[in-house]
Amino acid sequence: MKKIGILEIVVILSILITSVSLAYKFYSNNGNDYEFDGNQMYKCAWVCEKILNKNFPLNATIIGKWTLSKKPFNGEVKIYDAKGGTLYAIYNGTPITIGGELAYQEDIAAKKIILHPIGKSIIFYELNPIEGKSFRDIANEIENTTKNFNGLNIVDVIVEGSMGVDSKTYTPVERQKIMNNLDVDIKKGLGLYFVDYGIIINGKIHLNTLKNLDNYINSSNISTSKLTIYVVVNNSIDEIPNKIKENYAIITLG
């Protein structure tokens, strides 16, 4: 077996210390912004993954340049995924990729990234299957359950599960138009499966998006699976009443 040299031990210890330090910073910030230079993309992506995996929406301020035109970029984006040293985001309704200062394959070469997690806590719970004639019917049933949290600052509601939608058999052109309208949500992981006489929808969808699906899909009947509802609130755990904490599961950012 090959012996580990002093230099290799120093490198390993350096990586471990950096990881522990970053983890401490992430878990102790509890809702504050996180700032990274363009040469810290792997650290930035790691933090993005931790935030997104908890189902917190994540915005970011990106300062850098477009890799093709070299024109300056300074704007707000919505991050929906992070892998390796690349961030995947939505800017002005269009998916873009963000890399470090020396990036050439991504759309943006970032000099600075400031992450803005949305909300401080998430209250989540399950709902039994719901039936309705329209997506608005389904959304209204879900929204009624969030009235239990009146008094809290609700900033987003995310719905996870599947829906069977009775509609019609869509032509290829009609399918593409629906997918174009939901392109951002599909990029975020929403699944659309076109079948005879309707559609099966699977994954996570924002409540506001769910309300608007009637604009793209003419349904006659909808039935959902058991749903998981994530209510994102801009309240710390200490600001949430004990009655809610005793009856619901809660995720905190920190």
> For position 6, what pLDDT does the model report?
61
- Lowest mean pLDDT across 9-13, 63-67, 223-227, 229-233: 9-13
Quick one: 152 and 73 in the same domain? no
Domain boundary among 69, 98, 117: 117
Per the CB < 8 A criterion, the answer to whether 210 and 141 are in contact is: no
pLDDT of residue 1: 45
Task: Let me know if residue 2 belongs to a domain.
Answer: no
pLDDT band at 189 (very low <50, low <70, confident <90, very high): confident
CA angle 170, 159, 226 (to 5 degrees): 85
Contact 146, 157 (CB under 8 A): yes
Q: Within this chain, do residues 171 and 104 fall inside the same structural domain, yes or no?
A: no
30 dihedral zone (left: phi>0; alpha: psi -120 to 50; beta): left
Number of domains present in the structure of the chain: 2
Considering the domain architecture, whether residues 49 and 164 belong to the same structural domain is answered as no
* Domain span including residue 98: 30-117
Q: What angle do CA 187, 188, 192 make, to 5 degrees?
A: 70
Would residue 20 count as lying in a domain? no
Residue 102 in domain: yes
Same domain for 126 and 207?
Answer: yes
Mean pLDDT of 66-82: 95
* Structural domain ending residue among the three candidates 93, 117, 141: 117
CB count within 10 Å of CB 122 equals 21
3-state secondary structure (DSSP) of residue 247: helix
Q: Is the pLDDT of residue 13 over 60?
A: no
Among 117, 133, 151, the domain boundary falls at 117
Residue 11 lies in a domain: no
Q: Are residues 160 and 214 in the same domain?
A: yes
Q: Both 100 and 126 in a single domain?
A: no
Q: Which structure tokens are listed for 72?
A: 């300056």
Same domain, 112 and 228: no
Q: Which one, of 91, 57, 59, lies nearest residue 204 by Cα?
A: 57
Task: Say how far apart CA 179 and CA 194 lie, in whole Å.
Answer: 11
Q: Are 91 and 137 members of one domain?
A: no
| 24: number of Cβ within 10 Å | 10
pTM of the entire predicted model? 0.81
Judge whether 7 lies within some domain: no
243, 138: one domain: yes
